[in-house]
Amino acid sequence: MKVLNTLSGKKEEFSPQGEIVTMYVCGVTTYDACHIGHAMSYIIFDVVRRYLEFRGYKVKHVQNFTDIDDKIINRAQQLGISPLELSNEYISQYFVDMDALNIKRAHIYPKATEEISRIIEIIRGLVNKGYAYESDGSVYFRVRNFPDYGKLSRQNLKEMISGGNIEEGKKEYPLDFALWKAAKPSELSWPSPWGEGRPGWHIECSAMVLEYLGETIDIHGGGYDLVFPHHENEIAQAESFTGVVPFAKYWLHNGLVQVGESKMSKSLGNLITIKEVLQLFSPDAIRLFVLNSHYRSSLTYSKEALEAAGRGVERLSQAVRSMAERCEGASVLEVEPFRRRFIEAMDNDFNTAQAMAVLFELVREINRCQGAGVDVAEARHSLAELAGVLGFTLQQKVKLPAGFEPFVELLISVRDELRRANEWQLADKIRSGLAEQGIELEDTPKGTAWKSKR
């Protein structure tokens, strides 16, 4: 199994440190609703976790909430509520969105505001070691004291300065970044050795990784937009504080969502929320839209692409839900070659696009073999299992109308007539159609029984 490590720029053999794979994924800043870009990132890392577990690894997954930040403070002031009230509202909405997308919950969701003492402890340690300094109640990290600064983004200090992505403040050097921010009047703050204030953005994640996963973790994930400065700064802080290298063995970064020719961003006014997308498309369609591309590729949002994904999901669903009977003495569709190719694709840096291609090939074989009298029961089971590894539910939420029972009984009687006439293909079509509506048939010596799964 190989992963492309952003730190080295190469595919590397995946070799975790211990029995449990430690994985940290940067979470949301809780000042607004989650958008399709968040959906992309968290679907991808949901699949990474699911696949690792499928391959027999145990995973400890931590994902933070940044619940205090300039954006949160500004939005709360506009709304006339407290920053924590605003954050808690959007944290609740986050879980609604992610649960709807069938994203497995992380094992731990630390909040920045609940880790203040640990953050202060790390900042104090960095000051004592000469990696940080106080200025007017704020504390900054000395970038020039960390020789490896820029190793993740592959930039030198001159390139970073010319890029203009620099935090403001009274600093010794333009690239020095805030570990602790002095409080402004009437702003939410906490006491510290440097006065009232609050943590900077970057130190939060370093503190949470060290607190919940250790000095070196296996996987650190997030979007490409976090490589610099956020993840670069995380490395500098953590490795300077602990003296342990590396902070993370494997850095995985997903591509970003575009709308037309532009990156999706709030400043451009082209954010598309998860709630809006879910009103139009199923969670499985959104997942297929994401997984049809490699996770490191950018993704262009369009309704046409999601409609195509919806049609693809329906093909998967029909192949899984159609309940063909086992054909005694018939040849069996061999599944192992498909499973092997699925694993080969996913072992190659989680190549979900190739893995999906394998699943659709299996769908075509199931459909072809079913009409030829080949036993496809095991193939259907494997298709459902492998789709589940990628997080698909393949369920249709259909509310059956009141008084539908007589129509089911009528279709069963028509199916019985077709079976007696050896019209097996038409009989199976009725069974498949009922299965799509959540009606499961069971043929017994006393006749056909049915039950609704809705």
pLDDT at 433: 77
Distance, in Å, from the CA atom of 345 to the CA atom of 347, rounded to the nearest integer, reads: 5
| 93 and 188, same domain (yes or no) | yes
pLDDT at 15 over 90: yes
In a domain, 281, yes or no: no
pLDDT at residue 270 is higher than 80: no
| 286 in a structural domain | no
The predicted pLDDT at position 408 comes to 85
69 belongs to a structural domain: yes
Please report, as a single letter, which amino acid is at residue 380: R
Lowest mean pLDDT across 218-227, 234-243, 285-294, 422-431 = 422-431
**Range with the poorest average pLDDT among 21-25, 97-101, 370-374, 450-454:** 450-454
Whether 125 and 202 map to the same domain: the answer is: yes
Q: Which two tokens stand for residue 175?
A: 């690239």
State mean pLDDT over 157-186: 82
- Please determine, for residue 327, whether its predicted confidence score (pLDDT) is greater than 70: no
The pair phi, psi for residue 212, each rounded to 5°, is: -110, -15
Asked if 426 and 378 sit in the same domain, the reply is: no
Task: Assign 360 a pLDDT band (cuts: 50, 70, 90).
Answer: very high
Q: How far is CA 225 from CA 188, 217, 231, 354, in A?
A: 28, 21, 9, 25
Cα separation of 201 and 233, whole Å? 10
169 with 241, same domain: the answer is yes
pLDDT at 205: 98
Q: What is the pLDDT of residue 268?
A: 65
Please state, as a whole number, how many other Cβ atoms lie within 10 Å of the Cβ of residue 357. 15
> What CATH number should be reported for the domain holding residue 327?
1.20.120.640
What is the per-residue burial (b if ≥16 Cβ within 10 Å, else e) of 437-454? ebbebeeeeeeeeeeeee
Residues 63 and 104 in one domain: yes
**Domain-ending residue, one of 249, 276, 303:** 276
pLDDT at 352 over 80: yes
Cβ-based burial of 282 (10 A; exposed 0-12, middle 13-18, buried ≥19): buried
Q: What is the tens place of the pLDDT at every residue in 415-440?
A: 988 888 878 778 878 887 787 676 87
Domain boundary among 361, 389, 417: 389
Neighbours of 158 (CB within 10 A): 8
- The verdict on 57 and 119 lying in the same domain is yes
Residues of the chain with pLDDT > 70, as a percent, come to 92
- Split into its structural domains, the chain has a count of 3
Residue 266 has pLDDT above 90, yes or no: no
Please give the single-letter amino acid code of residue 294. H
* pLDDT tier, 89 (very low <50, low <70, confident <90, very high otherwise): very high
**Section 369-386 average pLDDT:** 88
Q: What's the pLDDT band for 271 if we cut at 50, 70, 90?
A: confident
Do 250 and 5 contact (CB within 8 A), yes or no?
A: yes
pTM of the model: 0.85
In a domain, 287, yes or no: no
Question: Token digits for 404?
Answer: 């539908």
- State the Rg of the chain over Cα: 26
Cα 63 to Cα 110: distance, rounded to the nearest angstrom: 7
When pLDDT is cut at 50, 70 and 90, the band that residue 164 belongs to is low
Q: Which pairs count as long-range contacts for 193-201, CB under 8 Å and 24+ apart, including other chains?
A: 193/120, 193/124, 194/134, 194/137, 194/138, 194/139, 195/137, 196/137, 197/137, 197/138, 198/68, 199/68, 199/112, 199/116, 199/119, 199/123, 201/29, 201/66, 201/69, 201/230
Q: How many CB atoms lie within 10 A of CB 422?
A: 8
Specify whether 161 is located in the same domain as 266.
Answer: yes
The Cα 453–Cα 249 span in angstroms is: 45
pLDDT of residue 402: 67
Q: Give yes or no for residue 252 having a pLDDT over 60.
A: yes
Place of tokens 């989680």: 350
Shared domain for 137 and 264, answered yes or no, is yes
Residue with tokens 């999901």: 313
- Give the model confidence (pLDDT) of 185-233 as tens digits: 889 999 999 999 999 999 999 999 999 999 999 999 999 999 999 999 9
Query: Both 25 and 93 in a single domain?
Result: yes
Q: In 3D, which of 103, 114, 85 has the Cα closest to residue 34?
A: 103
Does the pLDDT of residue 149 top 90, yes or no?
Answer: yes
Using 50, 70 and 90 to split pLDDT, how confident is the model at 403? confident
Q: What is the extent of the structural domain holding 215?
A: 2-276
Query: Domain for residue 289, yes or no?
Result: no
CB atoms within 10 A of CB 368: 12
The answer to whether the beta carbons of residues 414 and 347 sit under 8 Å apart is no
Q: Is the dihedral of CA 358, 359, 360, 366 positive or negative?
A: positive
| pLDDT higher than threshold 90 for residue 29 | yes
Residue 400 belongs to a domain: no
pLDDT at 259 over 70: yes
Same domain, 234 and 370: no
The answer to whether residue 357 sits within a structural domain is yes
Following CA atoms 430, 435, 438, 444 in sequence, which dihedral angle do they give, to the nearest 10 degrees? 80
Q: Are residues 15 and 64 in the same domain?
A: yes
Q: Give the tens place of pLDDT for each residue, 35-56.
A: 999 999 999 999 999 999 999 9
Q: Evaluate whether residue 288 is within a structural domain.
A: no
Q: Is 447 a residue whose pLDDT tops 90?
A: no
Residues 124 and 245 in one domain: yes
Q: Under a CB-based contact definition with an 8 Å cutoff, are residues 126 and 134 in contact?
A: no
Q: Which of 158-172, 271-285, 387-401 has the lowest mean pLDDT?
A: 158-172
Note the pLDDT of residue 396: 55
- Please tell me the distance from the alpha carbon of residue 442 to that of residue 331, in angstroms, as a whole number: 22
- Give the number of other Cβ atoms within 10 Å of residue 70's Cβ: 14
Give the residue from 222, 257, 276 where a domain finishes: 276
- Rounded distance between C-alpha atoms, residue 162 and residue 436, angstroms: 58
